[in-house]
Amino acid sequence: MKFSLTPIQFFLIIFLLQTGSVFITFQTRLLEGAGRNAWVVFIMTGILHYLLLLFYERQHSRFLPGPFVLLLYKMYWIYINVLSLSNILYSLAIWLYPNTPSIVLLLFIVFVSFYANCCKPDTIINLPVIIIPAILIFFFSLVFVFPDLEWTWLFPLDLKDVELVLNGFLISQVTVVGAASFLFLRKRVVSDVKMIGWPIAIYASFWFLFFFMSLIVVQLFFPLETIAIVPQALLYLLKSQKVNFVERLDLFFLFIWMMWSMITVILFAFLIRLVHAETNSGKQYKFNLLIHMVFLLVPPFFATRDRLEMLREPLVYLHLTIVVVLPIFVFIKNRRKTI
């Protein structure tokens, strides 16, 4: 696959891959796991995310994985897409389409992804631009709830409870799931651009601001005692707002989230194809069809509460293996070769 990325395209793609599948759900799980420590835990995650990107940037030229490692990445991203699609089906069944058969919704999403992935790479790498106004709308929507926020809910902290902090830290790692794409897309960025310094700092800050704001708003809107009984915290707080231009702010936002998620699914499918093309020459059409058949057939099976939780359970551990351990392993292996 021949294409190149500008730094803005590059960061926009990574941003979508990191946010699309989790930004609506991670707040509840983090608050359940870390309690009032959640916001401090997420600051730690933000710092580590920045250091991870710096580490990737310094070492990316040494990232030359073999076929087995590439296969692991493909499997991981297929898993992420199946998880995202199952989550979309489950959320839509609760909030918007309780009576619509999930296969119909899925067919619509998967078909768009399949069609986009049949097009030239230039089509896909420009897709995230659609989301830029949605990001602004998202921030704007959250401003409505500011008068209802209760600042005392930031305290008391219980950072001495190591188990609580560690648990929260592990849960917060879901916000970094798409980070591994950095290593595969970095070499596509036009070569004369330096990423160390402001570009990575600005991206990491924006990523942090996006997640942190959504977390803080949820933490300060709901008493900790109610967070477990609210179906989808972020949607719920938007639903609680009375605005003149739309009856239900949450439904308005839900459509934005659907579009956001759909583009993320397309981008993950594109990444899978990109990695597949590195070891398999020739036509990619059949492989594209195959992975989309998986996306069509597997998610409905997991779109129930128990199965979704079962599918989500290994995410953090897989993520830490794929995003941290595996790249370090590849860097060390290639460093030895160079020496």
Partner 1 sequence: MRIQKGIIIVILTLFLSGCWDETQYKDLTIVPLIGIEGEEGDITAMFAFPTFQNGQIEYSSSQGKGISTRAARSDANLQTMEALDMAHLEVILMSADLAKTDFAPSLDMFFRTPRNRITSYMAIVEGDMATYFNPPGKMKSEVSYFYPELLRTVVLYSYGANFTLQDAMKTMFDPAIDLALPYLQINEETGIPKVVGSALFSKQRYTGITLSSSESISSVIMANKINKYARITFEWEAKQTQITVNVMRVKKNWKIGTDTISASYDLDISVEEYAPHNLHEKKKREEVTAFLETSFKEHFDAVIKKSQEAESDILGFGRKVRAFHSGLWNQGDWQKTYADLPIEVEVNVRMKLTNIAE
Q: Which is nearer to partner 1, 95 or 331 (CB)?
A: 95
Token match 């359940």: residue? Answer: 32
Q: By CB under 8 A, is residue 222 in contact with partner 1?
A: yes
* 240 lies in the binding site for partner 1 (CB under 8 A): yes
> Which one of the spans 38-46, 105-113, 195-203, 293-301 is the region binding partner 1 (CB under 8 A)?
105-113
Q: Does 111 bind partner 1 (CB under 8 A)?
A: yes
3 state SS for the chain: CCCCECHHHHHHHHHHHHHCCCCCCHHHHHHHHHHHHHHHHHHHHHHHHHHHHHHHHHHHHHCCCCHHHHHHHHHHHHHHHHHHHHHHHHHHHHHCCCCCCHHHHHHHHHHHHHHHHHCCHHHHHHHHHHHHHHHHHHHHHHHCCHHHCCHHHHCCCCCCCHHHHHHHHHHHHHHHHHHHHHHHHHHHECCCCCCCCHHHHHHHHHHHHHHHHHHHHHHHHCCCCCCCCCCCHHHHHHHCCCCCCCCCHHHHHHHHHHHHHHHHHHHHHHHHHHHHHHHCCCCCHHHHHHHHHHHHHCHHHHCCHHHHHHHHCCHHHHHHHHHHHHHHHHHHHHHHHHC
Work out the burial of residue 258: count CB atoms within 10 Å of its CB; fewer than 13 is exposed, 13-18 middle, 19 or more buried: middle
Nearer to partner 1, 171 or 235 (CB): 235
Nearer to partner 1, 79 or 97 (CB): 97
Among candidates 121, 4, 14, 2, which has minimal Cα distance to 57? 14
Q: Which of 229, 244, 245, 339 is in the footprint of partner 1 by CB under 8 A?
A: 229
Which of these segments, 42-50, 61-69, 183-191, 227-235, binds partner 1 (CB under 8 A)?
227-235
CB of 132 to partner 1, least distance (A): 28
10 binds partner 1 (CB under 8 A): no
Binding residues for partner 1 restricted to 136-155, rule: CB under 8 A: 150, 152-155
Q: Which of 15, 90, 95, 270 binds partner 1 (CB under 8 A)?
A: 95
To partner 1, the closest distance from the beta carbon of 38 in angstroms equals 15
Residue closer to partner 1 by CB (options 244, 338) is 244
Q: Applying CB under 8 A, does 297 fall inside the site for partner 1?
A: no
Stretch that binds partner 1, among 4-12, 48-56, 88-96, 165-173 (CB under 8 A): 88-96
Residue 301-320 contact track with partner 1, rule CB under 8 A, x = bound: --------------------
Site string for partner 1, 184-213 (x = CB under 8 A): ------------------------------
**Using rule CB under 8 A, residue 96 touches partner 1:** yes
C-beta closer to partner 1: residue 96 or 316:
96
Binding site for partner 1 (CB under 8 A): 94-101, 104, 107-108, 111, 150, 152-156, 222-223, 225-226, 229-232, 235-236, 239-242, 250
